[in-house]
Amino acid sequence: MTALKAHEVERFLRRPDLEAGVLLVYGPDSGLVRETAQKLVRHYAGSGVDDMGLVTLDGSELDGDPGRLLVEAKTASLFGERRVVRVRGAGKSLAVPLSELIEDPAGAIVVLEAGNLLPRDALRAQVEAAKTGRALPCYADSDETILRLINESFSQAGIRAEPDVATTLRDTLGNDREITRRELEKLVLYAAQSKVLTRDDVLVLCADNAALVLDEVADAIGTGHAERLDAALSRALAAAVNPQQLLAAVTQHFAQLRRWRTIVDAGTAPRDVLEGARPKPHFSRKASLEQQVRLWSDASLSIAGERLHQAVGDTRKNYGRAETLTRRVFLALAQMAAQH
């Protein structure tokens, strides 16, 4: 078998063991698929943009003429370079020419990019079963791989990041490799002169500021801090977040609190509930969220949900008073929390 495990892909990229044949890069993380394929192309064809031995095709081009893959792979390069053919969006129409290439690669390397293929998929099964084939899975980054990528990127650029930068960035980015790379490049460029990054830099440059202020509003309500609520609401409205967006975000927040409260009432500690939550709450909010889960009972959360639902309807009927009605219901909920 020549199917690599996800954790083996990085090692393979450092030292590919195939001189000629077919490399299938597939998985749900399209950004990582592209990045992995690009690394393979650089290894086999070099990094020159005018490399005469490299041919890049789109899978849709080959659907109507799959035999073209054979022609391109077996055409000798003008100056004797290794023939490298890269196919983006490879599909099952390539099964026939691939069977011939797998038997006789003719010294060429074919790099196929595909989506999330099941084990029984014909393309994946064909490559995995071949001695001259390698299948490289690309799955979404885990917390561990994201942190490693972040730290390696900063280290290579000679940038000193404060201790909480990596975890803040991890929780801000999510797990799409292409987005992660883009944001890391932006941060490296930003810190090119100072060679220092802080958590505030990350929040300013990478975070969704509208999402951050919505969290501030929800947490101020949930913990019963009226003054903090007023300030967060002012920031949200100044950032062009409208009352309907505010109500939707807070309604979702309280629905999540109620789901967590149900698990707590079944016997799980609030801290353990948050640790097991997916998506994982940002670490900076964990103390506040744990407090809210403890403060609000299922009954009070049910009342909060009803009030928010009523407010949504009222603001839609009275558009001109939407901001006032939103402030009123939020303040009432914050007072409920303060009384617990």
Strand pairing report for 54-58 and 160-161: unpaired
Please state whether the predicted TM-score (pTM) of the whole model is above 0.75: no
Predicted pLDDT at 50: 53
pLDDT for residue 48 is more than 60: no
Quick: pLDDT tens for 279-295.
Answer: 778 777 889 999 999 99
209-339 is a CATH 1.20.272.10 domain: yes
Mean pLDDT over all residues of the chain? 88
Q: At what angle do helices 243-265 and 298-317 cross, to 10 degrees?
A: 160
CA–CA separation, 140 and 173 (whole Å) = 12
Report yes or no: 208 and 174 within 8 Å, Cβ to Cβ: no
Quick: pLDDT tens for 208-248.
Answer: 656 778 888 999 999 999 988 998 898 888 767 889 999 99
Lowest mean pLDDT among 170-184, 251-265, 315-329: 170-184
Of the candidate CATH numbers 3.40.50.970, 3.40.228.10, 1.20.1440.230, 3.40.50.300, the domain formed by 6-137 belongs to 3.40.50.300
Domains 6-137 and 209-339 share a fold: no
Highest mean pLDDT among 78-92, 146-160, 250-264: 250-264
Predicted pLDDT at 330: 97
Question: Helix, strand or coil for residue 84?
Answer: strand
Strand pairing report for 109-113 and 196-197: unpaired
Concatenating the DSSP letter of every residue in 32-63 gives HHHHHHHHHHHHHH-S-TT-TTEEEEEHHHHH
Q: In the chain, what are the domain boundaries? A: 6-137, 143-205, 209-339
Concatenating the DSSP letter of every residue in 276-296 gives T-SSPPPGGGHHHHHHHHHH-
Quick: pLDDT tens for 54-106.
Answer: 899 988 889 889 999 999 998 876 666 789 999 999 988 898 999 999 999 98
CA–CA separation, 15 and 51 (whole Å) = 21
Report yes or no: 219 and 229 within 8 Å, Cβ to Cβ: no
Average pLDDT rounded to a whole number, residues 112-122: 91
CA–CA separation, 169 and 46 (whole Å) = 32
Predicted pLDDT at 296: 96
Report yes or no: 69 and 111 within 8 Å, Cβ to Cβ: no
Which residues pair with residue 21 across a beta bridge? 109
Concatenating the DSSP letter of every residue in 114-179 gives -S---TT-HHHHHHHT-TTEEEEE-PPPPHHHHHHHHHHHHHHTTPEEPTTHHHHHHHHH-S-HHH
Question: Helix, strand or coil for residue 87?
Answer: strand
Predicted pLDDT at 79: 62
Question: Helix, strand or coil for residue 64?
Answer: coil
pLDDT for residue 1 is more than 80: no
